Structure 1
């Protein structure tokens, strides 16, 4: 999914964004690519031919697909498309917090997946993750060391969870964990399923710093399982400042709020 009207001034940047979006959607038409990238159909077709020659994509009638399909389920693709522009802004702002060679956790979810697709070429560290789509994406980034955590597959989040995942995580240590959530309010952070809870907490426990990535819709949503209190995270990267009550509680816990402004949509 690409955000309409976002111009990528260099051909390599355009092509990288095309491939990243394709790994979420599975198929993109020439016309929607041209509109989203603010370039001509001819420019898009030239980019696609080069990507096809490199084995990154497969040109099909009317557009382009991944050469070997996509691991994402329809529900994951649908959720990835929700507020895609906001997620992109959050991801681009969050990658600015990275050191080039650090070891990080990237949680399962569509916002964290967007973060992973936004990792710069200069990043040569290691990524610890339990997300199946994220591992699939990182197969195309040989400069990044990937440590995958196995366990029981949770279909909704497309991630491994449970006792085996927790045990594997506890053997590791990382500098920063980039986490997602289903909902946030003044009382805490929430997830959809109890089976996710212990795995997410284990990933947070092995990190020196925990960064929560969440668009502002998460402050209006409800989810049944309380993951943790607000003070369990060190930073929040979002696209709009939270409501006063939530902001006050975050401040009382010493959580740094980082707002990704619209101007952060850049290469």
Structure 2
């Protein structure tokens, strides 16, 4: 086989590797990609131009990033296994006819993906991906909350969204967050806070869904104090400080660890 043919065969694998790295990091420089792949800058530039033509990435000054609207897809691929297990564990809390609220985010999205085909309850949500997923669950009713579309989280936010939520009532609110400590859970953007709090306000029980990485994360916007939560579903034992705060406020812990799901008594 000629050297040109070998380069041709390697190109799809390189492009997949480039796409995976950009999905994980959000942005990568040409130099970093070339070093990671062991090829020249020119080869990487040729590959990213092709990915740009296909709409998979966007070539920007100094490197390559995800196109607008692809941030959710990138986050969905992060910690996919733990999120899947967390979604399955959370789904076991729900009765067949429950009315639930599902926050925007990739971990809460995993809950909807884990709902059984026979689920016949109602789902209140401002998340566009959740609405789309529920099209494949014809037995469930979806109550979509409109408002201003926030592309970063692919969700509706703003006064209209909050007002629509205030007219409703749900049994469970499944909440997402960017970080957790002993004081509570946090989000990255204040723009999303009023909608998340509106969903908590209409719920009998608030359940935080978060992979273990959120215990090591940092985010500026306080979404809910620990006492506001009724349960946390995660994939590993929380840090001691968080565990002690949960015990003080009677917050239930559900750990989805592989096939084993460990739950504290309510």
Given the two structures, how large is their TM-score scaled by the length of structure 1?
Answer: 0.71
Query: Which residue number in structure 2 is paired with residue 224 of structure 1?
Result: 220
The one of 174, 177, 180 equivalent to 2:173 is: 177
Aligned 1:81-230 pairs, distance under 5 A: 81-230=77-226
- Cα separation, 2, equivalents of 1:200 and 1:75: 19
Q: Deviations over 1:130-153 (max 9, x none)?
A: 001111111121111000000111
User: Cα offset for 1:219?
Assistant: 0.5
Query: Which residue number in structure 2 is paired with residue 238 of structure 1?
Result: 234
| Structure with max Cα Rg | 2
Q: Which runs of 4+ in 1 moved over 2 A?
A: none
- Cα separation, 1, equivalents of 2:160 and 2:153: 17
Residue 260 of structure 1 aligns to a residue in which SS?
strand
Task: Give 5+ residue unaligned stretches, structure 1.
Answer: 1-24, 26-71
Residue 259 of structure 2 aligns to a residue in which SS?
helix
Q: Deviations over 1:76-121 (max 9, x none)?
A: 1110000000001101111110100110001100001111011012
Structure 2 residue 248 is the aligned partner of structure 1 residue 248: no
Residue 165 of structure 1 aligns to a residue in which SS?
helix
Residue 203 of structure 1 aligns to a residue in which SS?
helix
- Cα separation, 1, equivalents of 2:176 and 2:85: 15
Query: Which residue number in structure 1 is paired with residue 3 of structure 2?
Result: none
Task: Give 5+ residue unaligned stretches, structure 2.
Answer: 1-19, 21-67, 262-266
- Cα separation, 2, equivalents of 1:170 and 1:202: 7
- Cα separation, 1, equivalents of 2:221 and 2:204: 24
- Cα separation, 2, equivalents of 1:121 and 1:233: 28
- Cα separation, 2, equivalents of 1:113 and 1:236: 16
- Cα separation, 1, equivalents of 2:108 and 2:97: 19
RMSD: 1.5
Given the two structures, how large is their TM-score scaled by the length of structure 2?
Answer: 0.71
- Cα separation, 2, equivalents of 1:212 and 1:242: 13
User: Cα offset for 1:264?
Assistant: 4.3
